Structure 1
Amino acid sequence: MFKVFRKEIEWGGRKLTLETGHIARQADGAVLVTYGETTVLCTAVGAKSPKPGIDFFPLTVNYQEKTFAAGKIPGGFFKREGRPTEKETLVSRLIDRPIRPLFADGFRNETQVVCTVLSHDLENDSDIPAMVGTSAALTLSGIPFLGPIGAARVGLIDGQYVLNPAMDQIAKSELDLVVAGTIDGVLMVESEAKELTEEVMLGAVTFGHKSFQPVIQAIIDLAEEAAKEPWELPPASYDAKAVQDRLRAAVGSDVEAAYTETVKQVRYGKLDAAKAKAIETLTAEGFEQAAVASEFKELEAQILRGSVLKTGLRIDGRDTRTVRPIVSEVGILPRAHGSALFTRGETQALVVATLGTSQDEQIIDALEGEYREHFMLHYNFPPYSVGEAGRMGSPGRREIGHGKLAWRAVHPLLPKKEDFPYTLRIVSEITESNGSSSMATVCGTSLALMDAGVPLPRPVAGIAMGLIKEDDGFAVLSDILGDEDHLGDMDFKVAGTEKGVTALQMDIKITSITEEIMKIALAQAKDGRLHILGEMAKALPDARESVNQNAPRITVINIPKEKIRDVIGSGGKVIREIVEQTGAKIDIEDDGTVKVAAVDSKAAQAAIDWIRGIVAEPELGVVYIGKVVKVVDFGAFVNFLGSRDGLVHISELSQQRVGKVADVVKQGDEVKVKVIGFDDRGKVKLSMKQVDQTTGEDLTKKAD
């Protein structure tokens, strides 16, 4: 019934298995990938005919994690998987980026890739198997995919590159880098690093590229046995050269004139006018509108790219290495804990930092288990930032991806939680955009955190690099504009400090680039990054010496473990009373660490004094302030040191003879008491008559 094909290789110290023909046989391509005991089902399906009237390739990638893969039941009321998690969105993008450039030119059939995690061994992450499985499924499907690709994760432990480090090894690694590409070169890089040099980063990319070559060969071997017949691409519906020639004659000079405009909105206005003129002119001559629109993009690319390679000058008049003018401002929002406005040319990010307590940490329910995140970075890209009116809603894949890139860039520089016990939230609002708003977010985040008083050892900056390559000629562009991103061959983002790289993201739109180009791009990016850091320092060179006055002050004290119960109280009664009475936030950890947070220092001190009073042991001969909690015939019980009760015997109430306890004290009275002893059960004996109730002075010492 089943005709199963399998390939197995040893890869990174574990077995990698590719299997097809057993599951999901109605998909165009389906591969079950197992690495260690992590298993992912990857399927690829393409529509049999193109969507009419579109001038782009409609590709969708959906990576999804099933909680049964780790033997768990989903949280929440419905107990089933809901909308994609952040990780699912990020891995979907990770898969999409290296495969998208490899589909045949002109292919317009809707294509969907679905990767489902079926088993997770909590040791081998499922993202690399999903990328490998996607490559294999597309290669087997017959869909015109010019792969296969391979992918690998690279770590750096004790100065040595490690292929596909286990999840527990990542915590010890100075590098977490994912690289994907073909036999010939690299297509995609995503990484977080602890201030590593450009040479180390390039070495990691090269190591990863060499390491996944056996995977590519295994996919080729599987395809030789199990691949379906390749699809025949339908003939082009129009003569591209004829449309190009007519376009250039009709509006070529208009497009060239538009690209001499340095202001984005003016340039776009002229390009829109040229496009409208082209569509009107050429459709009247019998050309299809979709063909005109598609080839107009190609005309734009030819003019922009040709001009840069020929003159070395760009749309806004810069050479290939110059960074646009930068203005850095901090402290612009009076009530925010930290704020920055970072403007680079026509790209601007308003970044705000908020400091919270451990109660504000994000709880993440992942396949690997629940954990808490104390650093959050949320990136928003409203339509007004590009002068458009558009739908506002929950963050899309692009916003999540850009936010995570900025998170990776800043994360290695954050102080340890033990040294700075705050939860940090960054919000980046992109208020203007014309190229690399994610790198503007990195710069703004660094400034906002330092403005809030977060002790970053060094500021972090980021820059986006581009590439224009025609045959043997190429130009690497620093600080690319939006047009240079859309019409260029590479988007290469590098973030870091003066000491080294903290994040690197690269997407290639051509089949691959050489190590030489990457080396040039990294060196040029370093120069640009150092320049940007210098401009940022004009606003704020280092972190402020203390946290912002509007942020909570967190004081950490330690109490004996056996006293935790006393501070919390039955059902949380005591700690709730402390919070309600003082207004402070209190977190108690299992090891006895207590964090008291309050904007008002008096409130924090009141809570600290209260807690210390609860955990303190009464000392013989010491005077305390207490409250009468119960009156009985033989004396009064007084509460002191927060939760400690002691008895003032009737004979110790007053210097005079007392006939009735109620004649001296009543419930609720505040009194001063002295510890005069302990009974054989540890109960505290107190005296009021030995203490001056007005001054609190010990009368026995006065008599001496």
Structure 2
Amino acid sequence: MIGKTYKTMLGDRELSIETGRLAKLVSGSVTLRYGDTMLLVTAQAREEKSTLDFLPLTVEFEERHYAVGKIPGSFHRREGRPGEKAILSARITDRQIRPLFPKGYRHETQVIITVISADQQNLPDVLGPIGASAALSISDIPWNGPTACVRVGQLDGQFVLNPTTDQLERSSLDLVVAGTRDAVMMVEAGAQGASEEDLVAAIEFAHAGMQGVIDLIETMRAELGQEKFNFLADGDLSTDLVPEVAEAARAAGLRDALLTVKKKDRSARTKAVRDAVIAARVPDADAEGAAEQTLALKAAFGKAEKQELRRLILEDDLRADGRNSRTVRPIWIEARPLPRAHGSAIFTRGETQVLGVATLGTERDNLLVDDLTTDENDKFLLHYNFPPYSTGEVKRMGGQSRREIGHGNLAKRAIRAVLPTFEEFPYVIRLVGEVLESNGSSSMATVCAGTLALMDAGVPIKAPVAGVAMGLVIEGERYRVLTDILGLEDALGDMDFKVCGTAEGVTALQMDIKVGGITPQIMREALAQAREGRLHILGKMAEVLAAPRAELSPTAPRIVSLKVNPELIGKVIGPGGKQIRELEAMGAQVTVEEDGTVRIFSADGSAAEAVRTRIESITREAKVGEEFDGTVVKTAPFGAFVNLYPGQDGMLHISQMSEERLGAVEDVLNVGDKLRVKIAAIDDRGKIDLIRPELEGKIPPREPRAPRPGGDRGGRPPRRD
């Protein structure tokens, strides 16, 4: 069967989407091509309804090494678990499509994105969401799309739609935007201190640029789309109970309970109100039907609680902990709480607390990144840990979750913008954000704690970075933007908008919308309010550490750098690495680059200097006329070999040892004797001829050594004219 192909221009390149040729047994299947990057995207849902009380949606992003003509480097030579880049790419798609499934839809649904060709210029992460939108739109799965996703770069002050990898390396902005026909749904960005107005302009540029893709998918749906299957939402008996329960809850003190500052106290007081409401309606918990009635009342109370909280915010500008919409929770900070870490800080905002820890390492500690778009060594690592105790829960602990990877990546993008270059500060940097308490915005607290830990370690960052999470409650035309949201406000609100930056501009942002999208006006207001909150937090950070410490932490290792002649690298390494092993035995790590840069890394400054001195000695280049106090290391019938400095000997010919003719070298010199010598000549092979300075002018100079046969002509005899 020959499939049908749809095409449109996206930026300055053609985007094509084909369906009906590959993976035809699945509900929705498309093959997407952009340049020589190709993705196969499928969407499938189970016929049976899940018993879970949430949408069981999974999005998988599968990178195949054959897409770039590579064999996997694993032991079994096959792809393993997804890497961080693949997980982040899957999250972009998930965040775009999840809000548009119908309310009450509970069928297990799976979207699989497989990268089958990658030209390493057209990035597949923003193409996956387009493929998912197309596959869902033509499938029989209920979904309220279509959507589209694009990337925006900025070169020479001009926005570029879907920049190539080469363009992105030169771009001051990396912005990913997903949206529907009328609104923006998801934003993720890294920037070099962009202004809020520039970001809004870039988002509007992206939204305009994706309209052709939405047109294309709507055409596909109109021509090929299947009829959506019917699904049954749970018969919700609690809905009819909400007005009655809400009135009873307000009478029992729900408002005061919701305005309790502390999370545990608020939960306890709210639960007491709920229990009182239920007890009044179900006096006998063991009676027939009491269990079902109790469940319905609990569900109704949850809805009433959400309604009351949103009403308080919209009408009274009061939030769950008593703050108004623009207030940041109380902040306290401690620098260097860990005595042995290279840099550390505790950042606490309300009931969210993160321990930031910085560790400085050598190039040997860098991370090899090997995915379909890059093959490089990452010299900045940021790891975000979210243990169950941070929320007062007990959960099974395993590997890093997708959430942890996503939050860590956002914090990493925020801080990377202010790091010095590796040439300026030749350390591999690892930051760890240990979330100790979490009640909203732990990723933003990680940005603050990480920045403070870097400054505590003495890393010369360009400027401090802080982050704040913004929320939104919207009902029709009424809305209110919230600064520094709680976990409860994240769950019951309509937006999670995280903004990071310096006092000058934004370095990273991430926005997720639970409603159909937001307007540019709301986005402008949220960014302006986020700037106000960010400056407040930066002010609190400056009260503890206004700038990086002038000196590296006393526990941080020192790196000494020097430059040697690239032709002498072999001397530093030695045969089979012997010399470098001897150097490292002196108490330091040594790395050597092809351009002759040598870096010495040691926790002991004196050991680093000793290794430096040794390397300088090993790679020292002798010059004619230099004098040395040498030591005889070997004798031969024609002369003595004298060590000038480590790794360098010269030959003192027997004719240059005495004014009188000698019968044997040993008449005047023996191994171990010390004497003053001077370099008389260095031949084209680097061999050194020595003389004794006190005999210079008293004995005839030795004839220069004959040049190698052929000179520099590769062994051919000299030309005779």
Instruction: Determine the structure 2 residue equivalent to 1:5.
Output: 4
2:612 counterpart of 1:608: yes
> Cα distance 1:386–1:505, how it changes in 2: closer, same or farther (>3 A)?
same
Instruction: Determine the structure 2 residue equivalent to 1:266.
Output: 265
| Cα deviation digits, residues 651-686 of structure 1 (max 9, x gap) | 8789999978499654xx584652342376653244
Query: Which SS does the other structure have where 2:610 is aligned?
Result: helix
Query: Which SS does the other structure have where 2:107 is aligned?
Result: coil
2:504 counterpart of 1:499: yes
* Residues 32 and 39 in structure 1, CA contact (< 8 A), matched pair in contact too: yes
Query: Which SS does the other structure have where 1:341 is aligned?
Result: strand
* Residues 636 and 665 in structure 2, CA contact (< 8 A), matched pair in contact too: no
Instruction: Determine the structure 1 residue equivalent to 2:452.
Output: 447
Which of residues 181, 194, 211 in structure 2 aligns to 1:196?
A: 194
Instruction: Determine the structure 1 residue equivalent to 2:326.
Output: 321
Q: In the TM superposition, what is the alpha-carbon distance from 1:639 to its structure 2 partner?
A: 3.5
Q: In the TM superposition, what is the alpha-carbon distance from 1:8 to its structure 2 partner?
A: 0.6
Distance 2:201 2:399 in 1: 38
Instruction: Determine the structure 1 residue equivalent to 2:603.
Output: 599
Instruction: Determine the structure 1 residue equivalent to 2:649.
Output: 645
Distance 2:32 2:132 in 1: 9
Query: Which SS does the other structure have where 1:377 is aligned?
Result: strand
Distance 1:151 1:220 in 2: 15
Alignment of 1:550-561 (within 5 A): 550-561=555-566
* Residues 635 and 647 in structure 1, CA contact (< 8 A), matched pair in contact too: yes
Instruction: Determine the structure 1 residue equivalent to 2:477.
Output: 472
> Cα distance 1:563–1:323, how it changes in 2: closer, same or farther (>3 A)?
same
Which residues of structure 2 form unaligned runs of 5+? 699-721
Q: In the TM superposition, what is the alpha-carbon distance from 1:559 to its structure 2 partner?
A: 1.5
Q: In the TM superposition, what is the alpha-carbon distance from 1:184 to its structure 2 partner?
A: 1.4
| Cα deviation digits, residues 526-575 of structure 1 (max 9, x gap) | 11111111110000111112222222222222212211222222222222
Instruction: Determine the structure 2 residue equivalent to 1:14.
Output: 13
* Residues 625 and 670 in structure 1, CA contact (< 8 A), matched pair in contact too: no
Q: Which amino acid aligns with 1:30?
A: S
* Residues 325 and 480 in structure 2, CA contact (< 8 A), matched pair in contact too: yes
> Cα distance 1:649–1:25, how it changes in 2: closer, same or farther (>3 A)?
same
Q: Which amino acid aligns with 1:71?
A: G
Q: In the TM superposition, what is the alpha-carbon distance from 1:626 to its structure 2 partner?
A: 5.4
Instruction: Determine the structure 2 residue equivalent to 1:544.
Output: 549
Which of residues 113, 132, 135 in structure 2 aligns to 1:134?
A: 132
Query: Which SS does the other structure have where 1:47 is aligned?
Result: strand
* Residues 147 and 178 in structure 2, CA contact (< 8 A), matched pair in contact too: yes
Distance 2:295 2:175 in 1: 40
Distance 2:127 2:566 in 1: 45
Q: Which amino acid aligns with 2:393?
A: E
Alignment of 1:203-602 (within 5 A): 203-234=201-232, 236-245=234-243, 247-248=245-246, 251=249, 253=252, 255-272=254-271, 284-285=289-290, 287=292, 294-580=299-585, 582-602=586-606
* Residues 246 and 305 in structure 2, CA contact (< 8 A), matched pair in contact too: no
Distance 1:366 1:672 in 2: 61
Q: Which amino acid aligns with 1:484?
A: E
Which of residues 142, 145, 148 in structure 1 aligns to 2:143?
A: 145
> Cα distance 1:293–1:362, how it changes in 2: closer, same or farther (>3 A)?
farther
* Residues 650 and 658 in structure 1, CA contact (< 8 A), matched pair in contact too: no
> Cα distance 1:81–1:670, how it changes in 2: closer, same or farther (>3 A)?
farther
Q: In the TM superposition, what is the alpha-carbon distance from 1:449 to its structure 2 partner?
A: 0.9
Q: In the TM superposition, what is the alpha-carbon distance from 1:167 to its structure 2 partner?
A: 0.7
Distance 2:409 2:401 in 1: 12
Q: Which moved more, 1:352-361 or 1:650-659?
A: 650-659
Distance 2:682 2:595 in 1: 31
| Cα deviation digits, residues 315-367 of structure 1 (max 9, x gap) | 11111101111112212212111111111111111001111121211111121
* Residues 637 and 664 in structure 2, CA contact (< 8 A), matched pair in contact too: no
Distance 2:256 2:423 in 1: 58
* Residues 5 and 222 in structure 1, CA contact (< 8 A), matched pair in contact too: no
> Cα distance 1:79–1:278, how it changes in 2: closer, same or farther (>3 A)?
farther
Alignment of 1:6-85 (within 5 A): 6-52=5-51, 54-85=52-83
> Cα distance 1:685–1:141, how it changes in 2: closer, same or farther (>3 A)?
same
Query: Which SS does the other structure have where 1:34 is aligned?
Result: strand
Query: How many residues were matched structurally?
Result: 688
| Cα deviation digits, residues 416-455 of structure 1 (max 9, x gap) | 1111111111011011111101111111111111111111
* Residues 60 and 113 in structure 1, CA contact (< 8 A), matched pair in contact too: yes
> Cα distance 1:557–1:235, how it changes in 2: closer, same or farther (>3 A)?
closer
Q: Which amino acid aligns with 1:684?
A: I
> Cα distance 1:558–1:299, how it changes in 2: closer, same or farther (>3 A)?
same
Q: In the TM superposition, what is the alpha-carbon distance from 1:646 to its structure 2 partner?
A: 2.1
Q: In the TM superposition, what is the alpha-carbon distance from 1:240 to its structure 2 partner?
A: 4.4
Distance 1:658 1:267 in 2: 103
* Residues 9 and 212 in structure 2, CA contact (< 8 A), matched pair in contact too: no
Which residues of structure 1 form unaligned runs of 5+? 692-697
> Cα distance 1:166–1:247, how it changes in 2: closer, same or farther (>3 A)?
same
Distance 2:382 2:639 in 1: 61
Distance 1:682 1:535 in 2: 63
Q: Which amino acid aligns with 1:121?
A: D
Q: In the TM superposition, what is the alpha-carbon distance from 1:247 to its structure 2 partner?
A: 4.0
* Residues 623 and 679 in structure 2, CA contact (< 8 A), matched pair in contact too: no
Q: Which amino acid aligns with 1:133?
A: G
Distance 1:202 1:665 in 2: 83
Q: Which amino acid aligns with 1:183?
A: R
Q: Which amino acid aligns with 1:550?
A: T
> Cα distance 1:3–1:615, how it changes in 2: closer, same or farther (>3 A)?
closer
Instruction: Determine the structure 1 residue equivalent to 2:622.
Output: 618
* Residues 31 and 43 in structure 1, CA contact (< 8 A), matched pair in contact too: yes
Query: Which SS does the other structure have where 2:191 is aligned?
Result: strand
| Cα deviation digits, residues 72-92 of structure 1 (max 9, x gap) | 111121111101100011111
Q: In the TM superposition, what is the alpha-carbon distance from 1:4 to its structure 2 partner?
A: 2.1
Distance 1:142 1:672 in 2: 94
Distance 1:426 1:464 in 2: 21
> Cα distance 1:604–1:27, how it changes in 2: closer, same or farther (>3 A)?
same
Q: Which amino acid aligns with 2:583?
A: I
Q: Which amino acid aligns with 1:324?
A: R
Instruction: Determine the structure 2 residue equivalent to 1:694.
Output: none
Query: Which SS does the other structure have where 2:48 is aligned?
Result: coil
> Cα distance 1:640–1:32, how it changes in 2: closer, same or farther (>3 A)?
same
Query: Which SS does the other structure have where 1:156 is aligned?
Result: strand
Query: Which SS does the other structure have where 1:450 is aligned?
Result: helix
Q: Which amino acid aligns with 2:355?
A: L
* Residues 650 and 661 in structure 1, CA contact (< 8 A), matched pair in contact too: no
TM-score by length of 1: 0.92
> Cα distance 1:236–1:3, how it changes in 2: closer, same or farther (>3 A)?
farther
**RMSD over equivalenced CA pairs, Å:** 2.6
Q: In the TM superposition, what is the alpha-carbon distance from 1:369 to its structure 2 partner?
A: 3.9
* Residues 41 and 115 in structure 1, CA contact (< 8 A), matched pair in contact too: yes
Distance 2:590 2:71 in 1: 32
Distance 1:177 1:291 in 2: 44
Distance 1:165 1:378 in 2: 28
Distance 1:641 1:226 in 2: 82
Query: Which SS does the other structure have where 1:218 is aligned?
Result: helix
Which of residues 668, 677, 682 in structure 1 aligns to 2:680?
A: 677
Q: Which amino acid aligns with 1:13?
A: D
* Residues 39 and 113 in structure 2, CA contact (< 8 A), matched pair in contact too: yes
Distance 1:255 1:541 in 2: 43
Q: Which moved more, 1:399-408 or 1:269-278?
A: 269-278
Distance 2:540 2:565 in 1: 49
